[in-house]
Amino acid sequence: MKQPVLASVYLSLAASIWGGMYVVSKYVLDYIPPFTLVWLRYAIALVVLVAIVAAKREPLPKHGRDWGMVIAIGVIGYIVSISLQFVGTKWSNAHTASLITASTPAFVVLFARWLLGEALTWRKLAALLLATAGVIVIVGLGDGGESTFAGNMALVGAAVTWALLSVLVKMASARLTVLSITTFAILVAFIGMTPMLMVESPELTAVHWNALVVLGVLYLGIVSTAGAFFLWNKGLEMIDAGIGSLFFFFQPLVGSLFGWLFLHEQLDVSFWIGGVLIVAGVVVAVRSEQSA
């Protein structure tokens, strides 16, 4: 299988898993506070990844520069970006969050141009515009509820920091294995999220654990964190960051589809039109990578 196609599979799976995570999170968050749930995700993912690292005898990052990259990925992407996304959605609304988060690939293209020297071609821009138009068609431009300036700024910060994470992963993969990057960046995030867990600790006494909550937490930790983070990082290692970022658009697409399947949320014709535009944008991007 050609490298761009294999990268497409990895990135599509990662973004689709995150899209489907919406259904699981919606249920589990009724029982567990948000920052605590993120901490649990990282704790479970860390156990899985450390076991794999030990079994494969994966070497530790040796140089200060390598540790610096791993720490930057963990802090910028897995702590700051996810925290800003949570805060922004809380202070804004899900509709605005979807629109602003859709700007992430545009920021990736800019960071990739600046830090990696990736070419900014007309074909890449056309793919970005097609996919962005697809998200706008699905979400719409109308007001989806009360929104605040602080919330919107937090969401912009989340989009920018996740874009920077994607480029940093691409840079780090030239020196480290994807397994090492993912494992040690999640370790950094686990440590960094611990103080936030302390803030929510009084609410933990009221948590009602049942089989579905336990299964949901395990799914979020093993599949959505350890698995999806690894797949996303592996895909970015194999393809231009600017092109790989377009697969991020599968997250709202799959999230909406799973919401329709499992939560009985309504989908109208705009969803299918937007989905076609997103897929068209990704196809244009991958074809440009294959012909490069």
Q: How many Å apart are CA 218 and CA 226, to the nearest integer?
A: 11
pLDDT at 250 over 90: no
pLDDT at 69 over 80: yes
Q: What is the pTM of this model?
A: 0.83
SS (H, E, C) 130-147: HHHHHHHHHHCCCCCCCC
- Whole-angstrom distance between the N-terminal and C-terminal Cα of the chain? 17
- 52-61, 232-241, 248-257: least confident range: 248-257
Cα 133 from chain centroid?
Answer: 20
Q: Which token pair is 105? A: 């690939």
The position carrying tokens 């480029």 is 167
Residue 29 confidence class, pLDDT cut points 50, 70, 90: confident
Residue 13 confidence class, pLDDT cut points 50, 70, 90: very high
The pLDDT score that the predictor gives to residue 3 is 80
Q: How many Å apart are CA 287 and CA 284, to the nearest integer?
A: 5
Q: Which token pair is 45? A: 């993912």
**Average pLDDT for the chain:** 83
Cβ neighbours for 149, distance < 8 A, ≥ 6 positions apart: none
- pLDDT per residue as tens digits for the range 36-63: 888 999 999 999 999 999 999 888 888 8
Q: How many Å apart are CA 287 and CA 250, to the nearest integer?
A: 18
Residue 273 confidence class, pLDDT cut points 50, 70, 90: confident
pLDDT at 220 over 60: yes
Q: How many Å apart are CA 83 and CA 95, to the nearest integer?
A: 18
Q: How many Å apart are CA 243 and CA 285, to the nearest integer?
A: 6
189 within 8 A of 78, measured Cβ to Cβ: yes
- 26-40, 65-79, 95-109, 132-146: least confident range: 132-146
Q: What is the number of alpha carbons within 13 Å of residue 149 lying toward its C-beta?
A: 0
pLDDT at 205 over 60: no
Cβ neighbours for 30, distance < 8 A, ≥ 6 positions apart: none
